[in-house]
Amino acid sequence: MCGVALDLEVNTIMKTAILTFQDALNYGAVLQAYALQHTLEKTFSPDEVGVLNYHCPIIRQKHAPTYVSKKGNPVKGFLKMLRYYPLKKRRKEVFDAFKARYLNLISYDTPEEKKRFSQAFDAIVVGSDQVWNTDLTDNDAAYFLSDFSSMKRFSYAASIGKREINAQEAERYKALASLDRISVREASAKQILSTIIPNDVYTVPDPVLLLDQAEWRTVAKPYGDLKPGSYVLLYQFNTGASLVNFAKQKAAERGCKVVSIQNVDKQIPGAQVICDASPDEFVWLFDNAACVVTNSFHGTMFSVIFEKEFYSETKMNRSTRIVELLQKYQMNDSVLENGKPTGGTRDRELSRQLVAQDRQRGFDFIALMKDAEAQRTAL
């Protein structure tokens, strides 16, 4: 069941909500929400799982087409907003269309909707994504689930997004002790939380890994007239010369072109720049690339899922997630440092086994969640 509003009437069937960053105009954010919803539907009930349409103020503000950065010159910021408004408006339209088709959004705006939600739902799952990165959420308390004490509360692959936290953040994380089951995405997050709360903390993969290639291909939609295998895909944040040059090098080796997925319309000589791909087109672009060059965590994840030749930049801010991922799967040949391969090697069969084991860890944790829900219902 996809793309419908769930009935908020109280009944005897367990209902589960996901709390995440569905408002973000970010491919990883929206696709991991879909993947977790799809997996929970298979585990619980296809008619009783949805994404809570909670609007984190700072996330919604920064991803609005009319957002003007508070950093730097305000006039320049306003002019930049005007320049990119048509592009961001188009991106919002394609993201909204994807969510309408694939996410079961649960209304959560008015006091009455919030009351009905608390009465109708049995469990809430926070994650995945960097829901516990207080720098990104402006310390939004909702993601620590204190307001949902009447339900079973879980986290799935929640990310802190950094290796170290300050005393104020540590105090905030103490609230997580009240959750029924806790899982995080990175080993560094487990290490941090294990020093703050007494709970067992599990590490599980990002939800996008829970869907196999065949399941993702049911979502994928071709982009324009691109042909499979005819391009090297470049997907990066903060466009930099080193990754562009490396992508061009890989394309020259194959006699094909570079296709670059970007948030802004910054032209790259000799490359096809795509700024308006929908999330389902994003999936297709990864599946059909001859090779991938990226500095994105979810760019890396989809390269792993589709078993691509890929290269991920690790020398950048907030690269903890990528570094830990490549180490976990022993994909040393995919490591880039400042746009250059480090010369690592990989046993591909071993990496494939490690990915399969990680996927199973995700399913095993969801089984623990199901057991906890069943225990609550039996009381």
- Averaged pLDDT of the chain: 91
Inform me whether the pLDDT recorded for 5 exceeds 70: no
Inform me whether the pLDDT recorded for 130 exceeds 90: yes
CATH 3.40.50 corresponds to the domain 16-210+358-378? yes
Whole-angstrom distance, CA of residue 242 vs CA of residue 45: 47
Widest Cα–Cα separation across the chain: 64
Q: Contact, 184 vs 155, CB < 8 A?
A: yes
Burial of 375 (0-12, 13-18, 19+ CB in 10 A): exposed
Inform me whether the pLDDT recorded for 15 exceeds 60: yes
By mean pLDDT, which of 41-45, 99-103, 374-378 is the weakest?
A: 374-378
pLDDT at position 330 is 96
Bridge partners, 311 (sequence order): 293
* Overall average pLDDT of the 352-378 stretch: 85
Q: Contact, 117 vs 108, CB < 8 A?
A: yes
Q: What is the pLDDT of residues 321-355, one digit of tens each?
A: 898 899 999 999 999 998 899 989 999 999 999 99
Inform me whether the pLDDT recorded for 309 exceeds 80: yes
Identify the band that residue 379 occupies on the pLDDT scale cut at 50, 70 and 90: very low
How many helices, marked H, and strands, marked E, lie in the chain? 13, 14
pLDDT at position 105 is 96
Give CATH 3.40.50.2000 domain extents, the chain.
219-346
Coil/strand/helix, residue 255:
coil
CATH superfamily of 219-346: Glycogen Phosphorylase B; (3.40.50.2000)
Q: Where are the alpha helices (DSSP H) in the chain?
A: 27-43, 57-62, 74-102, 111-120, 134-137, 167-173, 187-194, 213-217, 241-254, 279-287, 297-305, 320-328, 348-378
Coil/strand/helix, residue 124:
strand
* Overall average pLDDT of the 84-101 stretch: 94
Inform me whether the pLDDT recorded for 10 exceeds 50: no
Q: What is the pLDDT of residues 56-75, one digit of tens each?
A: 999 999 999 999 988 889 99
